[in-house]
Structure 1
Amino acid sequence: MEALAELIKRKVPNEGLIIEVGVGFYLKVAKKLKEYGFNVVVVDINQEAVKNAIKERIPGFVDDVFNPNLKIYLKARAIYSIRPNPEIMMALLTLAKKVKVPLYIVPLSGDVPPREMKLINYKGISVYVWEP
């Protein structure tokens, strides 16, 4: 999954905020983006996941993408998510459109993302991308 961090590094200017939605307890991509010099924030509906990220020195917020607190996302340069379920993918796309930033999704094998997203293969991983 670190290839996703590399892809974001290539596509997004290294200034501003990158937000991972649905981080869970997997922080490798967020940590790699921080190594690249990005300002990274993680978001999850699970308070324990956010506490874990904060303990690992990655700022985080508890939020529900079906009813997002837009203040969290307004300064974002990009949003990404790793293996969200299809319902969350649609909510992420709606959110990305509202704040007018690129969205990167690495789907679970077999999940079908929203049709508006373009599939790219980057270093062996499938990534669906939407750009404003």
Structure 2
Amino acid sequence: MCHYKRIERSIGEYIAGRYRRVVEVGIGNNPEAARMIAAAGALMRCTDIRPGIRHAGLTVVADDIFEPEIGLYAGADLIYAVRPGVEMVPPLIALAGRVNSDLLIYHLGCEIYGDGGELVDCGPVLLHCYHRRLP
């Protein structure tokens, strides 16, 4: 479990240092990255398909990435997900395109989608950028 927290801290530090309006998709029971981003003042909200998820100091909203409420993501310069199911990646890419945001994914193990997108080195882990926002 400690290893996962180090991964999430690395992801949180990377994102907090580069983005100003961020949404995490699928927060579940792993709020470490979101907390770091929130501490930097860059977290808009977190989403998860399961209603009722609560993490102190974070705004968590129930939303289904397969039928997303676009307003929850509008204005984000980054949407990210930590260890999402690979079936979630296509709707995440579509969503990032609709709201014109970057999309970063940290995959579980060696699981990737398609060509893996652009690799982003954030220290001890690699993120996959599947969409870049237009200027």
TM-score by length of 2: 0.85
| Percent identity of equivalent pairs | 23
Where structure 2 has 5 or more consecutive residues not aligned to the other structure, the ranges are 1-7
1:116: Cα distance to partner?
6.6
Question: CA separation of 1:9/1:114 partners in 2, compared to 1, >3 Å: closer, same or farther?
Answer: farther
Q: Distance between the aligned counterparts of 2:106 and 2:22, measured in 1?
A: 15
Partner residue, 1:62: 62
1:75: Cα distance to partner?
1.9
Amino acid at match of 2:36: K
Amino acid at match of 2:16: K
Amino acid at match of 2:46: V
Q: What is the count of residue pairs matched by the alignment?
A: 125
Where structure 1 has 5 or more consecutive residues not aligned to the other structure, the ranges are none
Q: Distance between the aligned counterparts of 1:42 and 1:10, measured in 2?
A: 18
Q: Distance between the aligned counterparts of 2:76 and 2:108, measured in 1?
A: 24
Q: Distance between the aligned counterparts of 1:39 and 1:63, measured in 2?
A: 17
1:4 and 2:11 are equivalent in the alignment: yes
Amino acid at match of 2:31: L
Amino acid at match of 2:132: E
Structure 1 range deviating more: 98-107 or 114-123: 114-123
TM-score by length of 1: 0.87
Partner residue, 2:72: 72
Tell me, yes or no, if the aligned pair for 2:52 and 2:62 is still in contact at 8 Å: no
Q: Distance between the aligned counterparts of 2:63 and 2:123, measured in 1?
A: 31
Aligned-residue CA RMSD (Å): 1.5
Q: Please list the CA deviations of residues 11-46 of structure 1 after superposition, one character each: whole Å capped at 9, or x if unmatched.
A: 32x3xx310000001111111011112233000001
Tell me, yes or no, if the aligned pair for 2:80 and 2:104 is still in contact at 8 Å: yes
**Superposition pairs for residues 8-87 of structure 1, below 5 Å?**
8-12=15-19, 14=20, 17-49=21-53, 52-53=54-55, 56-87=56-87
SS in 1 for 2:120: strand
Runs of 4+ in 1 over 4 A off after TM superposition: none
